[in-house]
Amino acid sequence: MTATRIAVIAGEPRAHVELAVGALAPRLISRNATRAHVAVTAAGMVLLGGDHVDIRIDVGPACTLEIEDVGGTVAYPGALSSWNLDVRIGAGGTLLWHGLPFVVTGGADVERRSSLTLGSDARAVIRETLVLGRHGERGGRLSSELSVVDGDGPILFERLEADGRAPEPGVLGGNRTLDAVIAVGFRPRARPHDLEFDLPGAMARHLSDHTHGSPLDPVWDAWAALAEERGLGAAPASLETERNRVEVTA
């Protein structure tokens, strides 16, 4: 399957934006010299069993790319399918991606991989909501991996293994929805129970048995706004060499 590609490079009077349709269809909403707002929606039925979706995003130096998800994603029953996201953010660049629910229906088998590479002083804020099953379903199997690195090495590695047919204590338990806002490259205003990384960044999470009423909406608004405030709210990088690594296996 052809890769979906979104790239933005600063330019005058407007940034140069490259869009390639794959499993997702990106559409330019607005832009100026250094900022682009792009909406993405499924170009067809996604994910069907056996589908392999690749998404490549390049944010040029000193650029901001805001991606608006339209409709979310539903993984349908069938053979193993995959969802691979590769993001590269240049020096001083910012990515904001407010993802809608990624639903793994009963009988689906999905491997989901997201990889972010940050240049110097690059930032990103991502909202991801993983859901096991539609209403009344227990959901299928999901393997979800998130890795974030910069020029010095890994910042965060997290792996979630969950199966709606065999819920595990300490993973999702009786919940079917895992909502998260992840900020990297700067210090957001974290709440007392949020996970703060050794290096600038934090993660806010909410577990529930439904997708509505999440308390993370204001967290997204605050962290996304702060990410664009260059020179404000950012703390110096930690001198510790220990990086964050979290693994969750059901």
Neighbours of 188 (CB within 10 A): 28
In the prediction, which pLDDT does 138 show? 87
Helix (H, G, I), strand (E, B) or coil at 47: coil
Give the length of the chain.
250
- What region, left, alpha or beta, does residue 79 occupy, with left being phi > 0 and alpha being psi -120 to 50 degrees? beta
Question: According to the model, what pLDDT value does residue 171 have?
Answer: 72
Tell me the per-residue pLDDT of 122-137, one tens digit each, with 9 for 90 and over.
Answer: 999 999 999 999 888 8
* Confidence (pLDDT) at 86: 98
Model pLDDT for residues 19-60, shown as the tens digit of each residue: 999 999 999 999 999 999 999 999 988 999 999 999 999 999
Predicted local confidence at residue 248, as pLDDT: 35
Secondary structure element (H or E) that encloses residue 221, with its range: helix 217-227
Q: What is the pLDDT of residue 135?
A: 81
pTM of the model: 0.89
User: What is the enclosing helix (H) or strand (E) of 225?
Assistant: helix 217-227
Terminal CA-to-CA distance of the chain, rounded, Å?
30
